[in-house]
Amino acid sequence: MKRIGVLVSGGGTNLQALIDAEKSGVLKSGKIVCVVSNKSGAYALERAKAAEIDAHVILKKDYATSAEFDRALRDCMQAAEVDVVVLAGFLSILGSDFIDAYRDRIVNIHPSLIPSFCGDGFYGLKVHEAALDYGVKVTGATVHLVNEITDGGRILMQKAVYINDDDTPETLQRRVMEEAEWKILPEAVEKLCAEI
Protein backbone atom coordinates (compact mmCIF):
# COMPACT_ATOMS: atom_id res chain seq x y z
CA MET A 1 0.00 0.00 0.00
CA LYS A 2 1.61 3.26 -1.15
CA ARG A 3 1.32 6.34 1.04
CA ILE A 4 -0.16 9.36 -0.76
CA GLY A 5 0.36 13.02 0.10
CA VAL A 6 -1.98 15.58 -1.49
CA LEU A 7 -1.09 19.25 -2.03
CA VAL A 8 -4.06 21.63 -2.27
CA SER A 9 -4.83 25.35 -2.46
CA GLY A 10 -8.61 25.66 -2.63
CA GLY A 11 -11.90 23.84 -2.30
CA GLY A 12 -10.47 20.37 -2.66
CA THR A 13 -12.95 18.83 -5.10
CA ASN A 14 -10.19 16.68 -6.61
CA LEU A 15 -9.09 15.72 -3.09
CA GLN A 16 -12.69 14.66 -2.43
CA ALA A 17 -12.67 12.59 -5.63
CA LEU A 18 -9.56 10.79 -4.30
CA ILE A 19 -11.11 10.28 -0.85
CA ASP A 20 -14.29 8.89 -2.46
CA ALA A 21 -12.22 6.64 -4.76
CA GLU A 22 -10.38 5.25 -1.75
CA LYS A 23 -13.69 4.51 0.01
CA SER A 24 -15.23 2.87 -3.07
CA GLY A 25 -12.18 0.75 -3.85
CA VAL A 26 -11.19 2.46 -7.11
CA LEU A 27 -8.04 3.60 -5.29
CA LYS A 28 -6.89 0.39 -3.61
CA SER A 29 -3.08 0.41 -4.03
CA GLY A 30 -2.63 3.68 -2.15
CA LYS A 31 -3.88 5.46 0.96
CA ILE A 32 -4.05 9.23 1.52
CA VAL A 33 -2.02 9.88 4.67
CA CYS A 34 -1.33 13.61 4.47
CA VAL A 35 -2.88 16.78 3.01
CA VAL A 36 -0.95 20.05 2.84
CA SER A 37 -2.38 23.41 1.83
CA ASN A 38 -0.53 26.60 1.01
CA LYS A 39 -3.66 28.59 1.95
CA SER A 40 -4.84 28.63 5.56
CA GLY A 41 -8.56 28.98 4.76
CA ALA A 42 -8.71 26.30 2.06
CA TYR A 43 -11.90 24.24 2.29
CA ALA A 44 -9.80 21.22 1.27
CA LEU A 45 -8.52 21.21 4.87
CA GLU A 46 -12.09 20.66 6.10
CA ARG A 47 -12.46 17.76 3.66
CA ALA A 48 -9.25 16.22 5.02
CA LYS A 49 -10.43 16.68 8.61
CA ALA A 50 -13.82 15.08 7.83
CA ALA A 51 -11.98 12.08 6.33
CA GLU A 52 -9.64 11.93 9.35
CA ILE A 53 -6.56 12.64 7.23
CA ASP A 54 -3.59 14.45 8.77
CA ALA A 55 -3.67 18.04 7.43
CA HIS A 56 -1.11 20.84 7.51
CA VAL A 57 -0.78 24.45 6.35
CA ILE A 58 2.56 25.60 4.95
CA LEU A 59 2.50 29.24 3.84
CA LYS A 60 4.97 30.51 1.25
CA LYS A 61 5.10 33.92 2.95
CA ASP A 62 6.63 32.28 6.03
CA TYR A 63 9.78 31.44 4.06
CA ALA A 64 12.45 33.77 2.70
CA THR A 65 12.81 31.90 -0.60
CA SER A 66 10.86 29.51 -2.81
CA ALA A 67 13.56 26.91 -2.19
CA GLU A 68 12.93 27.08 1.59
CA PHE A 69 9.18 26.72 1.01
CA ASP A 70 9.85 23.67 -1.20
CA ARG A 71 12.05 22.15 1.49
CA ALA A 72 9.29 22.64 4.08
CA LEU A 73 6.82 20.86 1.78
CA ARG A 74 9.32 18.07 1.12
CA ASP A 75 10.10 17.67 4.82
CA CYS A 76 6.38 17.41 5.64
CA MET A 77 5.87 14.74 2.96
CA GLN A 78 8.94 12.82 4.11
CA ALA A 79 7.86 12.98 7.76
CA ALA A 80 4.58 11.31 6.68
CA GLU A 81 6.61 8.71 4.72
CA VAL A 82 4.79 9.67 1.51
CA ASP A 83 5.52 7.59 -1.62
CA VAL A 84 3.36 9.48 -4.14
CA VAL A 85 2.47 13.19 -4.21
CA VAL A 86 -0.73 14.40 -5.88
CA LEU A 87 -1.24 18.04 -6.82
CA ALA A 88 -4.99 18.55 -6.55
CA GLY A 89 -5.50 22.19 -7.41
CA PHE A 90 -2.17 23.24 -5.91
CA LEU A 91 -1.50 26.77 -7.17
CA SER A 92 2.24 26.93 -6.62
CA ILE A 93 5.07 25.84 -8.89
CA LEU A 94 7.35 23.27 -7.27
CA GLY A 95 11.11 23.68 -7.47
CA SER A 96 13.79 21.14 -8.33
CA ASP A 97 14.48 20.17 -4.67
CA PHE A 98 10.94 18.88 -4.25
CA ILE A 99 10.73 17.39 -7.74
CA ASP A 100 14.03 15.54 -7.30
CA ALA A 101 12.85 14.06 -3.99
CA TYR A 102 9.78 12.59 -5.72
CA ARG A 103 10.93 12.22 -9.34
CA ASP A 104 8.28 10.38 -11.42
CA ARG A 105 6.05 10.15 -8.33
CA ILE A 106 4.34 13.57 -8.49
CA VAL A 107 0.99 13.62 -10.28
CA ASN A 108 -0.90 16.72 -11.42
CA ILE A 109 -4.35 17.18 -12.93
CA HIS A 110 -4.74 19.91 -15.57
CA PRO A 111 -8.14 21.01 -16.95
CA SER A 112 -7.35 20.75 -20.67
CA LEU A 113 -6.06 18.23 -23.16
CA ILE A 114 -2.32 18.95 -22.96
CA PRO A 115 -0.58 20.35 -25.03
CA SER A 116 -3.52 22.77 -25.49
CA PHE A 117 -4.06 25.61 -23.01
CA CYS A 118 -1.31 24.66 -20.59
CA GLY A 119 1.95 25.97 -19.19
CA ASP A 120 2.71 29.16 -17.30
CA GLY A 121 -0.38 31.24 -16.53
CA PHE A 122 -2.91 28.55 -17.47
CA TYR A 123 -4.85 27.49 -14.36
CA GLY A 124 -8.41 27.52 -13.08
CA LEU A 125 -10.97 29.45 -15.12
CA LYS A 126 -8.22 30.91 -17.35
CA VAL A 127 -7.88 27.52 -19.06
CA HIS A 128 -11.60 27.33 -19.85
CA GLU A 129 -11.74 30.99 -20.96
CA ALA A 130 -8.90 30.30 -23.40
CA ALA A 131 -10.62 27.19 -24.79
CA LEU A 132 -13.86 29.12 -25.35
CA ASP A 133 -12.05 32.15 -26.83
CA TYR A 134 -10.19 29.91 -29.26
CA GLY A 135 -13.41 28.18 -30.28
CA VAL A 136 -12.33 24.57 -29.80
CA LYS A 137 -15.17 22.03 -29.77
CA VAL A 138 -13.47 19.51 -27.47
CA THR A 139 -11.53 20.07 -24.27
CA GLY A 140 -11.01 17.81 -21.28
CA ALA A 141 -8.51 16.99 -18.56
CA THR A 142 -5.01 15.53 -18.40
CA VAL A 143 -3.24 13.72 -15.58
CA HIS A 144 0.52 13.99 -15.96
CA LEU A 145 3.74 13.54 -14.04
CA VAL A 146 5.38 16.73 -12.80
CA ASN A 147 8.81 17.85 -13.96
CA GLU A 148 10.58 21.24 -14.12
CA ILE A 149 8.45 22.41 -17.07
CA THR A 150 4.96 23.65 -16.14
CA ASP A 151 2.50 20.99 -17.38
CA GLY A 152 5.41 19.39 -19.25
CA GLY A 153 5.69 15.96 -17.64
CA ARG A 154 4.74 12.62 -19.17
CA ILE A 155 1.00 12.22 -19.74
CA LEU A 156 -0.58 9.39 -17.75
CA MET A 157 -4.22 9.75 -18.75
CA GLN A 158 -6.57 12.06 -20.67
CA LYS A 159 -10.33 12.33 -21.07
CA ALA A 160 -12.18 14.48 -23.59
CA VAL A 161 -15.23 16.66 -22.85
CA TYR A 162 -17.33 18.25 -25.59
CA ILE A 163 -17.95 21.99 -25.45
CA ASN A 164 -21.56 23.21 -25.76
CA ASP A 165 -22.49 26.35 -27.71
CA ASP A 166 -23.91 27.99 -24.56
CA ASP A 167 -20.96 27.14 -22.27
CA THR A 168 -19.48 29.77 -20.01
CA PRO A 169 -16.06 29.31 -18.38
CA GLU A 170 -17.89 28.35 -15.18
CA THR A 171 -20.22 25.75 -16.73
CA LEU A 172 -17.36 24.28 -18.73
CA GLN A 173 -15.12 24.11 -15.65
CA ARG A 174 -17.83 22.23 -13.73
CA ARG A 175 -18.44 19.74 -16.54
CA VAL A 176 -14.72 19.09 -17.06
CA MET A 177 -14.41 18.37 -13.34
CA GLU A 178 -17.45 16.07 -13.24
CA GLU A 179 -16.90 14.23 -16.54
CA ALA A 180 -13.11 14.07 -16.62
CA GLU A 181 -11.03 15.25 -13.64
CA TRP A 182 -12.88 13.37 -10.88
CA LYS A 183 -12.73 10.15 -12.92
CA ILE A 184 -9.21 10.06 -14.35
CA LEU A 185 -7.29 11.50 -11.37
CA PRO A 186 -8.14 8.58 -9.03
CA GLU A 187 -7.63 6.07 -11.88
CA ALA A 188 -4.20 7.47 -12.75
CA VAL A 189 -3.13 7.61 -9.08
CA GLU A 190 -4.23 4.00 -8.62
CA LYS A 191 -2.29 2.93 -11.72
CA LEU A 192 0.87 4.74 -10.54
CA CYS A 193 0.62 3.33 -6.99
CA ALA A 194 0.15 -0.18 -8.38
CA GLU A 195 3.21 0.20 -10.66
CA ILE A 196 5.60 1.49 -7.99
The 3-class SS string of the chain reads CEEEEEEECCCCHHHHHHHHHHHHCCCCCEEEEEEEECCCCCHHHHHHHHCCCEEEECCHHHCCCHHHHHHHHHHHHHHCCCCEEEECCCCCCCCHHHHHHCCCCEEEEECCCCCCCCCCCCCCHHHHHHHHHHCCCEEEEEEEECCCCCCCCCEEEEEEEECCCCCCHHHHHHHHHHHHHHHHHHHHHHHHHHHC
110 is catalytic: yes
> One of 56, 110, 128, 144 is an active-site residue; which one?
110
Task: Point out the residues that are catalytic.
Answer: 110
